[in-house]
Amino acid sequence: MQKQNYAYVRVSSKEQKEDRQLIAIRAIKIPEKNIFADKQSGKDFQRPNYLKMLKRLRREDVLYIKSIDRLGRNYREILEQWRVLTKEMGVDIVVLDMPLLDTRREKNLMGSFISDLVLQVLSFVAENERENIRTRQAEGIAAAKERGVRFGRPRRALPENFDEVRSAWRCRTMTLHQAAQSCGLPDSTFYGAVVRAEDEEK
């Protein structure tokens, strides 16, 4: 059977666009039926279209990806998936943004060594950068909270009768449901507002 060219495209969320990847893939004339795309995190390889592609790949087929982080974002899993594809399945991989990561070239021990070494370095750098980004984000959020910045949706304004109704509920002259209805709030929202109000009064 004649070898086939395939491509894999991934973005992390439905809001992101895969245009840049598709432009690069289509420039090398990959048939549309052989382009597989997922809109999903790269934390693991349990992605529907990636798994479909694996079932189609045969020995000596060529898999194109735009960059190594499109394959995944977990250092160990990228290395394991690379090994499965190239060593067990006999598939060649071409990373368009990194010409050294082209397993079609120099199919000898030195060629494999260079390719594997570059892959390990790039995967490590990519994962290390993601860890740094997460650390910076966490530090930024903590600093913002110290400055009084609030995250998430603004709290719903409480009705004027909230304190009166809260007092009645605490005195057990009203049920939770009656109190919430009197304030025009869902039961859970009324209860949460009571807890926050009493925490702030402590």
d(CA 137, CA 126): 17
Active-site position among 12, 41, 112, 182: 12
Residue 144 — φ and ψ, nearest 5°? -65, -40
d(CA 104, CA 123): 20
12 is catalytic: yes
CB-count exposure of residue 180 (10 Å: 0-12, 13-18, 19+)? buried
CB-count exposure of residue 103 (10 Å: 0-12, 13-18, 19+)? buried
Structural contact between residues 92 and 62, judged by C-beta atoms closer than 8 angstroms: yes
Of 37, 54, 64, nearest in space to 89 by CA: 54
DSSP code, position 92: E
d(CA 42, CA 123): 13
Of 65, 49, 87, nearest in space to 6 by CA: 65
Active site residues: 12
